[in-house]
Structure 1
Amino acid sequence: MKDGFRIIDSDMHIIEPPEMWEKYIDGAYKDRAPKIVGRYPIGTYGLMEGHMLPTVDAHARERWNGMFRVVGPHLQSDAARGFDPIAQVGAMDREGIDVAALFPTIGLYVMSFDGLDPAFAAAICRAYNNWLYDFCQHAPERLRGVAMIPPHDIVEAIRETRRAVQDLGFMGVFLHPSPVNGRQWHERYFDPLWYELQELNVPVCFHEGTGTVIRQPGDQFGTNRIMMHVASHPIAMMYTSLSLIIGGVLEAFPGLRVALLECNTGWVPFWLDRIDHDFERLAEWDAPTLTMKPSAYFMRQCFVGAEEERGLKQVVEQIGDDNIVWSTDYPHWDSDYPHASEEFLALPVSDKTKQKILWDNCVRLYALH
C-alpha cells in the first residue's frame, strides 16, 4: 500500500538466473536450452539457436550497458542477491505494491522465432513456468505468475495454458505481439486458444520486447535503440488490437480479456477514433461479422498498460478510466523504480481514478479475489 492506495503491479519483471533453463528444461533439450550470459543489469543477454537476444550488435550492446550504469545504482542490492524472490518482494515493498503479475526479461524474446520446433518451444515454456512457480512460492499471495505459452502449435499452447492455470495457479498467459510463422492473431487457427482462455477465465497479455528475431515495428531503424524502442511498444499494440477487433476475435469470444502491456495509453483515443472512422465506411466489406463499433469491443474487453504519463489526464477524459492498469516495469532500464508509484500518484487525476488504475481494474483483468 502507498499513501492509502492498494496497488497491483500489472507488469513487473523478474530476471532469469543464468542456470534457469538448463536446470529446468526436459533432459532431451538441455543442449539446446536458452542460455543467459552476463549479469543484470549490465551485460545480460540470452543465447538461443545461435541468436543473441535481444538482437543488437556489439556497439549497441555497449551503448545499452552504458545506459544501465546510470540506472544500475538503484538495483545494486537486488543484483547482489541475484534478483531472487526476497529482492523482488523488497522492491515491491519499496514501491508499496501489494500484488505483482510477473513477466520475464530474456523470456520476452525466446518464443519470437519462426519455424521453432513445437516440442522444443513447449519444453522452453514448461521450464520457465516451472521455475516461475518455484520463485512465487516465497510469497504466493503477492508474487503471481503469468505463463509463457508457445504460439507455434495450438495444441501445445492450449496444453500449457491449462497446466499453468489449473496446476500452477497462474493468473494469465502472455504472448509477444509480433505474429509467429506468419499467422495473424485473428486467423481461425488461434480460435481454440481464445476459447480456452475464455473458459478458464484468464487473460491473454501481449507484451513487446524490442530486439526480436522476427519482424516487429521499429526494426527498420537498425540498432538505434531510441528509434526501435519508441516505435515497437505502442505500434505493436496498435496492430494487435486492430487484428483482434476488426478480425472478429472479440466478437466471437466476448468473455476474452486482453491486456496490452508496457505500451502507454496516449495512442488509444486516436487509434479507436481512426478504427471507428474506417469501420463506418468499410464494415460491410471488411468487417461484416462485427455487431458493435470497434471501440466498444476495446472498452468491453481490453486493458492497456500505463506507467507515469503526463498525458494520462487527457486520456482518461477521452476514454474513461475503466481500461487502464499500471506498472512499475521493474527492474528494466526504462522503469521509474524506485519512484514509480510516487510519480504516478502525483499525476493530476482523481483519487477515484487512481484507485481504479492501481487496483480495481487489475482485479478485473486478472480475476483476482
Structure 2
Amino acid sequence: MQSYANARVIHDADSHTMETGDWLAPYLDKDLLESLGAIYGDADTGNRILGIIDAAKERKTDPEKDAKARENIIAGYKGWAGYGAFDKDERVHALDALGFGSQLVFPTFGLGLVRRAKDEDTLYKASYALNKAQADFCSADDRLVFIAFIPLDNPARALELLETALADGAGAVLLPSNPPGKERSPGHPDYDPFWARLVEADIPFTLHIGPGTMRPPSAYMNNGRERAPDLHGGGENLRFADYMTLWYAPQMFLTHMVYDGVFQRFPDLRGAVVECGAGWVPDFLRQLDYAHKSFQRTDPYLQEMDLKPSDYIRRAMKFTPFPGEDVGIMIRDAGPDLLLFSSDYPHPEGTKDPIGKFERTMEGIDEDAKDRFYRRNYEQLMNMAPAVEAIAAE
C-alpha cells in the first residue's frame, strides 16, 4: 500500500505524544505521585479525555475498530484518538502508513504538568519522569526521535538532566523560550558547558510553542466581549491574538544567542524553532542585520562578531512553517535552507493533509528547494547521512 509520503523522502520535524492520565507516574518520586501522578483531573474535561483514551485502547482487542482507525491515518482520528497517539506499537504502524523517514516526538500535556511544578526540585524531578516516559515511547522504533525537555533554570541540574537524557537516547532537547529561570540570558557564560555538551553529543536544541512562548497581556482580554473559543471549539488552545505573539519569545531567545556570542563561541551548535510559524523569519533576519548596522559603531559586542547576525542564524537554525503558510514566498525571500516540513501528528493543527497544503504554496519552486524542505534541511539539523546516500549504500 502506498504511503502518505508517496515515495518522496520526508522527515517530520514535529509530532507529539498524547499522554495517558498516568504517563509520568511510573517514573515519579513517591512524594510527587499525588500532585503530579495524574495528568487529567476528574472534572468534566478530564473525564472526557480519559473516555477518549479508553475508547482508543479498545482497538488493541477489536480488529474492526483497529482497521477503521488505520484507513487514512493522516486524515483520520486526531488527538488522543489518533493512531499511535499514546500507544507506541500503533505509532510504528502509523509511521509506516505515513511514510516518514523519521519523526521528532514532543510531549503535549505531560509538559504542561511539569511546568506547573512549584519549586525547582519538583521541576527537575518531573522533567526527569517526563523524559523517561518519552524515551520509553520512542524506544519502539529508531525512526521515533526522543526529544528531552530540559529546563535551564539551574545550569548544573540542566546539565545533569541532559546527561541522563543522552544516556536514554535523546536525539534533541526542548528548551523553554523564555529567559532561563527568569534570571539569565541563554547567552550567559553559566550555560556554556550546556551548549558545549550539545555540540559534543552532536544533537540540536529546539524551541516549541508552549514552554516559554508568549500570549498577549491578560488586559487585552478585557475587551467587553465574551472570549471566543479556540480553533477546536474548546477553551485551552490557541486563538487569533495568541497566534500573533507566538514568535516573540523565540525571536528574543535567538537574538540573545546571537548578541551574547553563543553561536560564535559554538559554531557547530544547531537548533530549530518548531510550531511557532515561519512567516516572520525572513524579516527577522533583515532586522537583525539592520540593528547590527545601526548600533555596531558604538557597541563593542557587535564589533566582536565575525559574521553578520543573520549569518549565525542561517548557519545554526531551522524553522517549521504552519500548514497553510506560504512556504513558496518564504523560500523566495530567505532562501531554501531554513525551513522544515512538519505534520504536528496527531495534533489536529497539523491538518488532514499537510503535504498538500505546503505543495499548494510552492508552485514554481524547483525540486532541489522542495527536497531541502522535505528532508535535506532536517538531515542537516540532525546531522544525518543523506537518505539517498543511505539507499545507495544498501
Match of 1:239 in 2: 252
> Is contact 2:79–2:348 with CA below 8 Å preserved after alignment?
no
- Say whether residues 1:124 and 2:110 are aligned partners: no
| Residues 110-169 of structure 1: CA deviation (Å, up to 9, x unaligned) | 4546x9533322211221111112212222x2211011113221111111212212x211
The structure 2 residue matched to 1:364, chosen from 380, 388, 393, is 380
> Is contact 1:276–1:294 with CA below 8 Å preserved after alignment?
yes
> Is contact 1:24–1:127 with CA below 8 Å preserved after alignment?
yes
SS at match of 1:303: strand
- Say whether residues 1:158 and 2:159 are aligned partners: yes
Structure 1 unmatched runs, 5+: 47-70
Match of 2:357 in 1: 343
Aligned-partner residue type, residue 285 of structure 2: L
Aligned-partner residue type, residue 355 of structure 1: D
Residues 154 and 228 (structure 1), Cα distance of their counterparts in 2 relative to 1, 3 Å cut: farther
* CA distance, structure 2, for counterparts of residue 345 and residue 128 of structure 1: 35
Percent identity at matched positions? 24
The structure 2 residue matched to 1:6, chosen from 9, 12, 24, is 9
The structure 2 residue matched to 1:100, chosen from 98, 103, 108, is 103
SS at match of 2:206: strand
> Which has more radius of gyration?
2
RMSD over aligned Cα atoms: 2.9
The structure 2 residue matched to 1:269, chosen from 282, 285, 290, is 282
Match of 2:370 in 1: 354
* CA distance, structure 1, for counterparts of residue 85 and residue 240 of structure 2: 31
Match of 1:295 in 2: 310
* CA distance, structure 2, for counterparts of residue 307 and residue 352 of structure 1: 21
SS at match of 1:331: coil
User: TM-score, normalised on structure 2?
Assistant: 0.77
Runs of 4+ in structure 1 off by over 6 angstroms are none
Residues 38 and 96 (structure 1), Cα distance of their counterparts in 2 relative to 1, 3 Å cut: farther
Residues 14 and 215 (structure 1), Cα distance of their counterparts in 2 relative to 1, 3 Å cut: closer
* CA distance, structure 2, for counterparts of residue 365 and residue 8 of structure 1: 11
Q: CA deviation at 1:248?
A: 1.7
Query: Residues 1-369 of structure 1 correspond to what in structure 2 (within 5 A)?
Result: 2-33=5-36, 35-37=38-40, 74-75=77-78, 78-79=81-82, 83-110=86-113, 112=115, 116-139=118-141, 141-165=142-166, 167-182=167-182, 183-209=184-210, 216-220=214-218, 221-222=220-221, 225-283=238-296, 284-285=298-299, 287-336=302-351, 338-346=352-360, 347-348=362-363, 349-369=365-385
Aligned-partner residue type, residue 207 of structure 2: F
SS at match of 2:350: coil
SS at match of 1:205: strand
* CA distance, structure 2, for counterparts of residue 124 and residue 86 of structure 1: 25
Q: CA deviation at 1:103?
A: 0.2
| Residues 27-73 of structure 1: CA deviation (Å, up to 9, x unaligned) | 3432332631169xx75899xxxxxxxxxxxxxxxxxxxxxxxx996
Residues 192 and 44 (structure 1), Cα distance of their counterparts in 2 relative to 1, 3 Å cut: farther
* CA distance, structure 2, for counterparts of residue 269 and residue 217 of structure 1: 22
* CA distance, structure 2, for counterparts of residue 300 and residue 80 of structure 1: 36
User: Which structure shows the bigger proportion of residues in strand conformation?
Assistant: 1
Residues 44 and 97 (structure 1), Cα distance of their counterparts in 2 relative to 1, 3 Å cut: farther
Residues 321 and 103 (structure 1), Cα distance of their counterparts in 2 relative to 1, 3 Å cut: same
| Residues 234-279 of structure 1: CA deviation (Å, up to 9, x unaligned) | 2222222212112221112111101111122211111111111111
Residues 152 and 76 (structure 1), Cα distance of their counterparts in 2 relative to 1, 3 Å cut: closer
* CA distance, structure 1, for counterparts of residue 333 and residue 213 of structure 2: 32
Q: CA deviation at 1:319?
A: 1.7
* CA distance, structure 1, for counterparts of residue 160 and residue 268 of structure 2: 20
> Is contact 2:177–2:207 with CA below 8 Å preserved after alignment?
yes
Q: CA deviation at 1:207?
A: 0.8
Match of 1:56 in 2: none
* CA distance, structure 2, for counterparts of residue 176 and residue 94 of structure 1: 32
| Residues 338-364 of structure 1: CA deviation (Å, up to 9, x unaligned) | 311233234323222221111111111
SS at match of 1:120: helix
Structure 2 unmatched runs, 5+: 50-73, 222-226, 229-237, 386-394
Aligned-partner residue type, residue 302 of structure 1: M
Residues 247 and 116 (structure 1), Cα distance of their counterparts in 2 relative to 1, 3 Å cut: farther
Q: CA deviation at 1:23?
A: 2.1
Match of 1:55 in 2: none
User: TM-score, normalised on structure 1?
Assistant: 0.81
